[in-house]
Chains A and B, each alone.
Chain A
């Protein structure tokens, strides 16, 4: 291709107009949206779960007549950080001592209870959900696998 000087200094033809989109406002808006959602989104940080299987006991069910039903340990949550274990147990009075006590009762720790013994948490009237879960946590922390809430209709029924 010959240069401009070689063609006698003729002015080149004006270049055709270029149509361009101005993307700047769009990028501005997109960044605003990004910052909004970055700040506004909350993730489930720190949330954990306790597993609890809930069999339906409202209807008839098949029961093995030769299967012995494990007697549950019923932990009454009284509120104000106090608990009571129903029955002949010399249990602790405070929720913070419950996990240690239940752990000492485990068969593999020299106690009498297998680790699959049903533990029923029975919050008394007026007890809030936080304290009920505190009792539930103590039983799980003690190493029992079958922990549930006592059913109001059938307190003696096992619930995992």
Chain B
């Protein structure tokens, strides 16, 4: 149904929504989600994080960080650690490679922290060598207090999973 111009009754007025702002916003949203999904896919390997009862943990701050993931396997055991999109075997050679990569990154940024995400079903004996590797990687990077490590846990009360 076409509207009629009051100034020029003989000519119908073309009505149409200006879609340009909506398209702009939509493209911005698409770009945002593309970038965020890439980041979260690299940093957040799906796993079952530890969920302590009555957790005394804190919300993560905004400091720059790198994330070391130790995903759990079907039986709760996994022999790899991932840093970004690189997987490191948890043998002596893999841990040396992980250490040198961590040292390179820690040396380039004095504020850098390491988030350790490990599956709660993993044996502690699997996680302990990675913790030691992170500690050694701070050697020579000018950190008198050592490497700042954040153990990532799931606060299920905040997540709303449990009342």
Contacts and interface: CB of A to CB of B under 8 A. Distances in A.
A41 B115 contact: no
Nearest to B158: A46
Nearest to A46: B159
B107 interface: no
Given A27-B26, A37-B34, A50 B57 contact: yes
A89 interface: no
Contacts of A46: 154-156, 158-161
Interface residues of A, number: 54
A151 to B, nearest CB: 7
B135 interface: yes
A86 interface: no
A33 B27 CA distance: 10
Interface stretch (B79-87, B88-96, B141-149): B141-149
Nearest to A153: B132
Given A127-B123, A141-B54, A48 B60 contact: yes
A16 to B, nearest CB: 16
A160 B132 CA distance: 13
A45 B63 CA distance: 18
A30 B153 contact: no
A23 B144 CA distance: 59
Nearest to A50: B151
B139 A58 contact: yes
Contacts of A160: 145-146
Interface string A21-42: 0010011001101100110111
A48 B57 contact: yes
A41 to B, nearest CB: 5
B56 interface: yes
Nearest to B70: A129
A63 interface: no
A51 B150 contact: yes
Contacts of B152: 47-49
A31 B135 CA distance: 46
17 contacts: A4-B10, A23-B19, A46-B154, A47-B155, A52-B148, A55-B135, A58-B135, A58-B136, A129-B50, A129-B120, A129-B122, A129-B123, A130-B121, A132-B127, A134-B52, A137-B57, A137-B153
Shortest Cβ-Cβ A-B pairs, 7 listed:
A46-B159, A130-B120, A37-B33, A55-B146, A49-B150, A137-B52, A48-B57
Interface of B: 10, 19, 23, 26-27, 29-30, 33-34, 36-37, 40, 44, 49-60, 70, 76, 115, 118-128, 131-132, 134-136, 138-139, 144-156, 158-161
Given A51-B149, A54-B138, A140-B57, 10 more contacts: A38-B33, A40-B37, A47-B60, A47-B154, A48-B60, A50-B57, A50-B153, A55-B144, A129-B70, A137-B54
